[in-house]
Amino acid sequence: MSAGLPLRHEEDVEGVVASVFVDVRRRMPFVPALFKALAHDPDVLLAAWLQARAIYDDPRAVAANLAIRRSARVELDYRPSRQVSEAVAPFVAELPSMLLIVTSLRLTLDGEFSLQPSPPLELPEPAAVPEPEFSDRGEHPLFAEICAVYGTQHLPSIFRSLAAQGVLEEAWGAIGPVLASPGGVTAVERVAAEAENQARAMPEVASFTIERARPVLDQFGRALPRNLIVAVAVAVAGSATGGADRAT
């Protein structure tokens, strides 16, 4: 059995779920696992996406995402291979947005914001959803260990992508011990705090009210700061070394 939360993938969706996925792909090079996990409940997915889209399209999100990304930097003695750097690159760009979105959704459910009317739907017609621009369906025996370190059932797509490229052992061997260390715990807390600061600066996007989404949001709220630390660590190390051309 595959590790992680059950997900609905691009080829398995229709109706409003397909419309949401197409709308997501107009903005991102892949459909993030959050939306695939919520897609089992189309009403939840639609409501979450409407708030998420309002955040993603807000001009203030650029500065917010940059601040979140900067908060994720950690010291790491690691020279990633070019394959690892390439596998992680799409996540470096999108993970700050996803963390901002999940944090905003959770704060909204917590009653931290005054609720606003839901944004207009303005969704595309249901259509075939483009495949992601990279493989995100790898499997690996290390997944159970990763979930244990994360403390989640959710297995993040960044690790599936690394597994699909055959470089998960390299990346996890360098970064896993950091995440499991006291310094890693402190870094996770720092990233989560910055995401909350940025989400609180955008209260007028709050429209999400579906409490049954909380278990999934809590899983992603725990995983996303760690994912971002992984992605930024690889990006920073790779930019410093140019990415090693070693075999994996």
Q: Which amino acid is at 21?
A: F
**Contact by Cβ (8 Å): 36, 9:** yes
Which residues of the chain, if any, have pLDDT below 70? 1-3, 240-248
User: What pLDDT, on a 0 to 100 scale, did the predictor assign at position 137?
Assistant: 86
User: What pLDDT, on a 0 to 100 scale, did the predictor assign at position 202?
Assistant: 98
CA distance 22 to 3: 26
pTM value > 0.85: yes
CA distance 243 to 42: 41
Q: Report which DSSP code applies to 242.
A: -
Q: How many CB atoms lie within 10 A of CB 238?
A: 22
Q: What is the pLDDT of residues 129-173, one digit of tens each?
A: 998 888 888 899 999 999 999 999 999 999 999 999 999 999 999
User: What pLDDT, on a 0 to 100 scale, did the predictor assign at position 204?
Assistant: 97
User: What pLDDT, on a 0 to 100 scale, did the predictor assign at position 3?
Assistant: 66
CA distance 158 to 163: 9
Backbone phi, psi, residue 81, to 5° = -70, 160
Structural tokens at position 20: 């949401």
Structural tokens at position 150: 């994360």
Element (H, E) at 75: none
